[in-house]
Chain A
Amino acid sequence: MTAVQEPKKLEVPEGHVTLVIDDVEVVAPKGELIIRTAERLGIVIPRFCDHPLLDPAGACRQCLVEVEMGGRPMPKPQASCTMTVADGMVVRTQRTSKVADKAQQGVMELLLINHPLDCPICDKGGECPLQNQALAHGRADSRFVDVKRTFPKPINVSTQVLLDRERCVLCQRCTRFSAQIAGDPFIELLERGADQQVGTEATSEITALNKTSEGKEFASYFSGNTIQICPVGALTSAQYRFRSRPFDLVSTPSVCEHCSSGCAERTDWRRGKVQRKLAGNDPEVNEEWICDKGRFAFRYATAADRITRPLVRDKATGELVESSWTEALRMAADGLATARDAKGAGVLTGGRLTVEDAYAYAKFARIALRTNDIDFRARAHSDEELSFLASSVVGTTPENGVTFTAIENAPAVLTVAFEPEEEAPIVFLRLRKAARKNNTAVFHIGQWTTTSVTKTSASLLACQPGGEAAAIEGLATHAPDVVEALRKNGAVIVFGERAAQVPGLFSALTKLSAETGAKLAWIPRRAGERGALEAGALPTLLPGGHPVTDAAARAEIERAWGVDEGTLPAEPGRDTSAILAAASNGKLSGLVVGGVDPNDLPDPALAREALETLSGNGFIVSLELRRSAVHDYAHVVLPIAPSVEKAGSYLNWEGRRREFGTTLEGTGALPDGRVLDTLAVEMDVDLFTQTPASAAGDFARLPSVNDSSANGSRPSMLEVPAAQVPSSLGGPSALLATWRQLLDNGSMQDDEPALAGTARPVVARVSESTARALGLNGTATVSTARGSITLPVVHADLPDGVVWLPADSGDSTVRATLGAGHGDIVTLARGEAS
């Protein structure tokens, strides 16, 4: 007997099976689809309807393979996109099975008989799965000599999505995306057989049956994804249609600059112009989806009012005139130095900076202006929020904080003062996925049953605007089941920028978290806020998160920065409102503004007054991409680069670094950090932020609150009692609930009419009984001493005596017109007939 060498056995981990694909033995996790296992082996099975993030459909039949189970061949070829692997299974794909190959060729031929083959004029040509797979798995010639089915084309699914039904292979990716991922059934399959088609209520012959109750067209914030996942050229983008060929484009990985999710994107550009943006694939963050704002809103960077040359105010005429960088920087440096040495100068950075640029502002404030008067919060804010950010948010990372994945896997999620679909659409998608796939219990403390509530199958805990803190404190008595759910391991509490408008909310949430163990997640609306917090663009925190009052941290930073001991101011500075108040009272002489719209601020009038005052008696430097509201008051305007023309990184709400390189090189536009660096040199200070890379390197050398020892210097949370809300307001007085909609008047959505066409209608919402009590006849006028807004009324399940307005949509500019915010008292009356 000769020793026979045992064949090498594959190790099969728990929960895995072994199978053979094309004669190769492979181990696969139970439940994996054959098509994915094959893919891991490098065997690509052609497919159309299959998409890893959508539920299997088995509709296109392109991925047929031969399967043998327990030694017995199955009588028919099987769709590898719907069949899961099993132990002992033998799979033969088109590579080793004539039957599978013929089946695939047959399906391909059938798919093409009614396809118009208009590739030369199709946007998808060159990146089309149908084109590619037809070349790989199809016949060279067609046997079809009869009459093709035709449709009028294209039709508008929405203002931004166009549908060509002739090209459609009816894979149902778009309809499944809408129904499963977004929860917006704005498109559906209509008719049957060869007449089956994707359509909307507008294209259906039975329109009356398909209308929503309000008779409006369905709309979606995520419709652009259907264009990207369409495996043929059936869905095309109104914005990109006929713009270019995919092979003429340069693709650069990028990060979305709009909200705090930090989605991975791919920016496609040609001859110095961005042509389109696509979702990147980042399973940890946005999976393969982005919202329509992230996809379509990019032309703001090339708007007509873009500033490309420095401007200085001509002393004689009082007008801003173009100047050289040298002249502008000298004027700015002189003006700021004078202001600093008079009553000081403050810095308002806005919420949209990269970490590197925010760091440059923070460092500039500390060593060039020698002040802690710096705040990134260009929105309603509070000391309580500042204290919460310092004690609980700064320094958290995906390793120790809440993440997208944590939300997906959470047993329970409570959202409060946060409208996921409007404020962080990708968080909304994850929340919906959690509810849909993992049965996550979602609770929403808000005012009415919004789409975020219905589409995440959430339970609404209704409260009055401003009453959120009291609602949290009352949970134990009124909704003990919610508290119980939050005690489960992995539960999460999510809240947004609106929390700063509700006194006591951060304190109540901190207590609730301590009591239940649920983790807190602060999800700001703007892309730059989380990074600016870390970079120290706040009156109380140093870059790295240590309090400005921490002498040891100050000393360490002084050493790292190479500045004299005692250079860094030790006293906490003023926040945004205090800076503006000081400026209008003549207690501040200068201001550096990096992209702030007074109308976003809690008191736009105060902001204007401050700018007015400084414009006459002080000094304002404005760093602008486009002509802003500060422009008219500024003494020097310095142009800066939009995100597509610079490198850098955002910290998303998870605290995850989202680094990106320069997409459009050599435009001459400079990032804020570079401008500030040069300005500082003029003031005899070195920032070392010439490039984003050097700024990042400089920042990385600083002590972080994260790596402090146990006796770290995190300040404790300020305790603020929950605001008491009047239980019933008499007569025409009403409480205002308000937040921003995703698509609104925001200046970064300018020049995108197709995108704007999908914005939600601008209406006021009140309860039916309130509308009846006040005799609202279809329109309502909401007013304060400052002004009034008149809008059509829609009834919703709001508490009585509450009116909801979109914060900045169309004519509904709440801060600018009313000077009021969420939770304030307004007057509600029947709308004046216009």
Chain B
Amino acid sequence: MTEPRKPAPVTPVLTKTWLSPRSWTLDTYTKLEGYTALPKALKASPEQLVQLVKDSGLRGRGGAGFPAGVKWSFMPPNEDKPHYLVINADEGEPGTCKDIPLMMADPHSLIEGCVIASYAMRAHHCFIYVRGEALHCIRRLNAAVREAYQAGYLGKNILDSGFDLDIVVHPGAGAYICGEETALLDSLEGRRGQPRLKPPFPAAAGLYAAPTTVNNVETIASVPFIVNGGSDWFREMGTEKSPGPKIYSISGHVEKPGQYEAPLGTTLRDLLELAGGMKDGIPLKFWTPGGSSTPMFTAEHLDVPLDFEGAAEAGSMLGTTAVQVFNETVSVPWAVMKWTQFYKHESCGKCTPCREGTYWLTQILERMVAGNGTEADIDTLLDVCDNVLGRSFCALGDGAVSPITSGIQYFRDEFLALCDKQKAAPALAGAQA
């Protein structure tokens, strides 16, 4: 463990300009130091940029937290095949609301980041794969890309550097699975979005079987700030292993839900303070640190540092820092059922555990919530979860069972209470109401 630092309450970096008038326009962006990192980056070599990002310790903001610089260094040094940068803007994790606000409020920081990252990875094509439902966001991005082309930040010979880059904004068609990077690539190629077998990894054979890096919006939008501020500045925020600021999207029973940019390692206690505390003063019951796929926490976990290590040590994951806050009025089995219905709806169907497991788990939970569950159902839930966790093709299955196992772990009594009716008449076990 490193020396714990008392983090600053907020560190507006990515969100700094969000409240400026017409913050999404090129005009505002350039007035606020926008596109000042790009010329510096284009003067450096690609290797220097990769090293800078490595030194900064920037970790992927899409959930897994893989070091971005290391990921970039997997791209082959030659250009035997075209290289691609793909931005994962398919923000779909329940509770997550950071990439779409970022692209709405400040699309140009993403575009500037795309140019720098593409240059660092020798890519001349960049695709921004945006969740299809976010039509307003797609329009805004397209407008920003047009502006950037007109201003010479995109296209041929960018800022006289000899570097060419084209950006294509591509809308998805409404599938959670397409946030998984290889399913995203399949979808981008026009196929059914289902995860691909790895290896080969995208850096070897990704989009159109060419070297590809897939990065999250927030990761790439951080890059211009790192180029301008340097890696040491970046490391001033957050913890040693999880440096930098992070947009926490706080939703649920708080007074002021929204996006709060704070250093990694901030606790829920601090975040609740920023968000004005629990709504109407009703006490906290449970919360997710990073979206519904991360095992839930309770009031016991108010002081868990929300960085990649802290969340993992406490038995969950940082995920997308989608903090969903639930107060005492919410039934855990009910919330777990709603989440499970979501995963059943979004399972792509490729592998057995996720496809069949979510189908089964949903039915058991629906039955329990309707008052027709038995104690044996709780054991079955846990055993089916065990047969899905780590057995499915991609992480969707793992995420799907997180709410159930953590819900039963912390709130078993609530599940048991739902079975009371069946205790009186056990012969009806499993029967439909």
Q: B360 to A82, Cβ gap below 8 A? A: no
Q: CB-CB < 8 A to B251: which residues of A?
A: none
Contact A196 B349 (CB under 8 A): yes
A457 to chain B, nearest CB (A): 15
Closest to B431 in A: A145
Binds B, one of A6-14, A110-118, A705-713: A110-118
Q: 19 other contacts beyond A82-B197, A106-B353, A196-B355, with CB at 8 A cut-off?
A: A59-B351, A61-B352, A61-B391, A76-B391, A77-B391, A102-B386, A106-B384, A107-B387, A110-B357, A110-B388, A146-B360, A146-B430, A192-B175, A192-B346, A193-B348, A193-B349, A194-B344, A194-B355, A196-B350
Q: Are B347 and A194 in contact (CB under 8 A)?
A: yes
Q: How far is the CB of B28 from chain A (nearest CB, A)?
A: 41
- B363 and A146: CB pair below 8 A? yes
A residues in contact with B393, CB < 8 Å: 58-59, 61
Give Cα A147–Cα B197 distance, bound, in whole angstroms: 32
- Contact string against B for A residues 693-704, beta-carbon threshold 8 Å, 1 for contact and 0 otherwise: 000000000000
Residue from A58, A102, A110, A169 in contact with B360 in the complex, judged by beta carbons closer than 8 Å:
A110
Q: Of residues 340 to 368 in B, which have CB atoms within 8 Å of A's CB atoms? A: 344-353, 355-360, 363-364, 367
Write 21 A-B pairs (CB below 8 A) sorted by A numbering: A56-B197, A58-B197, A58-B393, A59-B393, A75-B390, A102-B387, A106-B386, A107-B391, A110-B352, A110-B357, A110-B360, A110-B384, A113-B356, A114-B356, A145-B430, A146-B363, A146-B367, A192-B175, A192-B177, A192-B348, A193-B346
Give the Cβ gap from A147 to chain B, nearest Cβ, in Å: 7
Complexed CA–CA distance, A64 and B360 (Å): 21
Least CB distance from A194 to B in Å reads 4
**B351–A58 touching, CB < 8 Å:** yes
A193 with B345, Cβ < 8 A, contacts A61-B352, A114-B356, A147-B363 known: yes
Find chain B residues with CB under 8 A from A194 CB: 344, 347, 349, 355-356, 358-359
A191 close to chain B: CB less than 8 A: yes
Per-position 1/0 for B275-289, Cβ under 8 A of A: 000000000000000
Interface of B: prevailing SS: helix
Q: Give every chain A residue within 8 A of B390 (Cβ-Cβ).
A: 75-77
Asked whether any CB of chain B lies closer than 8 Å to the CB of A109, the reply is: yes
Name the residue of chain B whose CB is nearest to the CB of A149. Answer: B359
Q: Is B409 in contact with chain A by the CB < 8 A criterion? A: no
A720 touches B (CB below 8 Å): no
A139 to chain B, nearest CB (A): 11
CB proximity of B364 to chain A, nearest CB, Å: 7
Interface residue ranges of A507-549 to B (CB < 8 Å): none
For A59, A106, A110, A147, the residue with the greatest tally of chain B CB atoms inside 10 Å of its CB is A110
- Which A residues touch B351, using CB under 8 A? 58-61
- Chain B residues, CB < 8 A from A103: 387, 391
* 4 nearest A-B pairs in the assembled complex, by CB-CB distance: A106-B387, A196-B349, A145-B430, A76-B390
Total residue contacts A-B, CB cutoff 8 A: 104
- Contacting pair A59 B356 (CB below 8 A): no
Residues of chain B in range 363-401 having any CB-CB distance to chain A below 8 Å = 363-364, 367, 380, 383-384, 386-388, 390-393
Interface size on A, residues (CB 8 A): 36
B residues 106-125 near A (Cβ < 8 Å) are none
Contacts of B364 in A (CB 8 A): 146
Residue pair B360, A170 in contact (C-beta under 8 Å): no
Q: Determine how close the nearest CB of chain A comes to the CB of B329; give it in whole angstroms.
A: 29
Interface string of A73-113 (1 = CB under 8 A from B): 00111000010000000000000000000110011011101
With A110-B360, A114-B359 as contacts: A189 and B349 at CB distance below 8 Å = yes
- Is B192 interfacial (CB-CB < 8 Å)? yes
| B residues near A195, Cβ cutoff 8 Å | 349
List residues of chain A with CB within 8 A of the CB of B197: 56-58, 82
Interface secondary structure of A, over-half rule? loop
Q: Does A144 contact B (CB under 8 A)?
A: yes
B358 to chain A: which residues have CB within 8 Å? 193-194
Within 8 A of A (CB), among B190-226: 192, 197
- What residues make up the interface of B, taking CB atoms closer than 8 Å to A? 175, 177, 192, 197, 344-353, 355-360, 363-364, 367, 380, 383-384, 386-388, 390-393, 429-432
Instruction: List residues of chain A with CB within 8 A of the CB of B348.
Output: 192-193, 196
**Residues in chain B near residue A82, CB distance under 8 A:** 197
* Among B197, B352, B386: residue with most chain A CB under 10 A: B352
Give B373 Cβ to nearest chain A Cβ, in Å: 11
Q: How far is the CA of A189 from the CA of B194 in the complex (A)?
A: 11
Please give me the residue from chain A that is nearest to B344 by CB atom. A193
Q: Is A286 an interface residue (CB 8 A)?
A: no
A110 contact set on B, CB distance < 8 A: 352-353, 356-357, 360, 384, 387-388
**The one of B192, B352, B380 that contacts A60, using a Cβ cutoff of 8 Å:** B352
Contacts of B429 in A (CB 8 A): 145
Report the Cα distance A833→B345, complex, angstroms.
54
Please tell me if A143 contacts chain B, counting CB pairs below 8 Å: yes
Q: In the complex, how many angstroms separate the beta carbon of A565 from the nearest chain B beta carbon?
A: 70
- B359 engages A113 (CB within 8 Å): yes
Q: Residue of B at shortest CB range from A106?
A: B387
B174 to chain A, nearest CB (A): 10
B383 to A: closest C-beta gap in Å: 8
With an 8 A cutoff between CB atoms, is A62 at the interface? yes
With A and B bound together, what is the CA distance between A107 and B352 in angstroms? 7
Query: For the complex, what is the distance from the CA of A191 to the CA of B194, rounded to whole Å?
Result: 11
- B349:A62 contact, CB within 8 angstroms: no
Q: Which residues of B contact A58 (CB under 8 A)?
A: 197, 351, 393
> Which of B346, B349, B390, B392 has the most chain A CB atoms inside 10 A of its CB?
B349
Whole-angstrom CA separation of A109 from B361 in the bound complex: 13
Question: Which of chain A's residues have a CB closer than 8 A to the CB of B356?
Answer: 110-111, 113-114, 194
Smallest Cβ-Cβ distance to B366: which chain A residue: A146
Q: How far is the CA of A113 from the CA of B360 in the complex (A)?
A: 8
Least CB distance from A377 to B in Å reads 47
Contact mask for chain A residues 189-203; partner B; CB cutoff 8 A; 1 contact, 0 none: 101111110000000
Interface string of A25-68 (1 = CB under 8 A from B): 00000000000000000000000000000001111111010000
| Min distance, Cβ B390 to any Cβ of chain A, angstroms | 4
Query: In the docked arrangement, what's the CA distance between A200 and B388, Å?
Result: 30
Specify which chain A residues have a CB less than 8 angstroms from the CB of B387 in the assembled complex: 102-103, 106-107, 109-110
Contact residues in B for A111 (Cβ distance below 8 Å)? 352, 356
CA gap between A196 and B356 in the complex, in Å: 11
Please measure, in the bound complex, the distance between the C-alpha atom of A110 and the C-alpha atom of B387, giving whole angstroms. 9
Q: Is the CB of B363 within 8 A of A170?
A: no
Chain B neighbourhood of A191, CB < 8 A: 349
A589-608 to B contact mask, C-beta < 8 Å, 1/0: 00000000000000000000
Q: Tell me the nearest residue of chain B to A108, going by C-beta.
A: B352
Task: Enumerate chain B residues within 8 angstroms of A102, measured Cβ to Cβ.
Answer: 386-387
Asked whether, in the complex, the Cβ of B352 is within 8 Å of the Cβ of A193, the reply is no
Q: Give chain B nearest CB distance to A468 CB in angstroms.
A: 36
Q: Give complex CA distance A77, B392 in Å.
A: 10
Residue B353 contacts which of A56, A61, A147, A192 (CB distance < 8 angstroms)? A61
Whole-angstrom CA separation of A75 from B398 in the bound complex: 13
